């Protein structure tokens, strides 16, 4: 779940506890400082030594990737929930709103969304395409109901969410990113 299911024997009790602390501290510090959050600070915040942190995540990149994967999985859950909304357009709009909402304050994910820092994000593809499958269905349904432009595609979804994420990440003052989302949702309508 966290690192990877592939590894066998369960963690020692204390190690498991530390792992959870590290993840939650990482989330908190990345949210607070973006990618500038330092490994050492994360360890300290979690109340463990750096060595311990590195035992679970061999690099900073690995740590960030783990966090991002979790969020993609959460996205998939949200998308699935929204798929059961009757109105096709509302399903799409609600999904976008909820995903954006859940992204707020998750700098690690935001960065991944935006591909910053030349990380390779190994192992994300899998989670990403699982999500894409669901989103594609939702878009298809919305198009079939003629409530959104016919030329809307799954790639547009990624791009637009990236832009909205940017508004969220960068514009700390100014109007809320929600407004940006509103504009885009309106712009998705036919024509």
Partner DNA sequence: AACGATACGGAACCGTGATTCCGCTTGTCA
Partner DNA sequence: TGACAAGCGGAATCACGGTTCCGTATCGTT
Query: By the 8 A CB rule, do 36 and 26 touch?
Result: no
Nearer to DNA, 84 or 118 (CB): 118
Residue 47 interacting with DNA (CB under 7 A):
yes
Residue 116 interacting with DNA (CB under 7 A):
no
73-82 long-range contacts, Cβ below 8 Å, gap at least 24?
A: 73/127, 74/102, 75/99, 75/102, 75/131, 76/127, 76/130, 76/131, 76/134, 78/102, 79/131, 79/134, 79/135, 79/138, 80/134, 82/138
Residue 140 interacting with a second copy (CB under 8 A):
no
DSSP sequence for 120-139: --TTHHHHHHHHHHHHHHHH
**List 20, 32, 58, 190, residue binding DNA (CB under 7 A):** 58
Task: From 42-50, 85-93, 95-103, 170-178, give the range in contact with DNA by CB under 7 A.
Answer: 42-50
- Contact positions with DNA (CB under 7 A) in 59-98: 59-61
**List 42, 91, 138, 160, residue binding a second copy (CB under 8 A):** 160
Query: In which residue are the tokens 């929930």 written?
Result: 81
Residue 31 interacting with DNA (CB under 7 A):
no
- Contact positions with a second copy (CB under 8 A) in 107-126: 114-116, 118
- Give backbone dihedrals phi and psi of 101, rounded to 5 degrees, phi first: -60, -45
Residue 48 interacting with DNA (CB under 7 A):
yes
Q: Which residues bind DNA (CB under 7 A)?
A: 9, 11-15, 18, 36, 38-40, 47-52, 54-56, 58-61
């Amino acid at each position: 779940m966290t690192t990877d299911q592939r590894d066998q024997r369960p963690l020692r009790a204390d190690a498991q506890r530390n792992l959870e602390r590290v993840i939650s501290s990482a989330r908190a510090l990345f949210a607070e400082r973006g990618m500038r959050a330092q490994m050492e600070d994360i360890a300290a915040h979690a109340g463990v030594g750096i060595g311990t942190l590195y035992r679970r995540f061999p690099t900073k990149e690995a740590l960030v990737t783990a966090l991002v994967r979790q969020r993609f999985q959460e996205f998939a859950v949200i998308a699935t929930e929204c798929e059961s909304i009757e109105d096709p357009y509302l399903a799409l709009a609600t999904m976008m709103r909820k995903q954006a909402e859940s992204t707020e304050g998750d700098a690690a994910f935001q960065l991944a969304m935006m591909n910053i820092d030349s990380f390779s994000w190994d192992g994300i593809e899998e989670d990403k395409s699982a999500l894409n499958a669901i989103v594609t269905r939702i878009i298809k349904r919305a198009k079939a109901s003629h409530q959104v432009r016919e030329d809307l595609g799954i790639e547009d979804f990624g791009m637009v969410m990236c832009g909205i994420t940017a508004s969220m990440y960068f514009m700390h003052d100014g109007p809320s990113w929600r407004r940006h989302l509103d504009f885009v949702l309106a712009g998705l309508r036919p024509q």
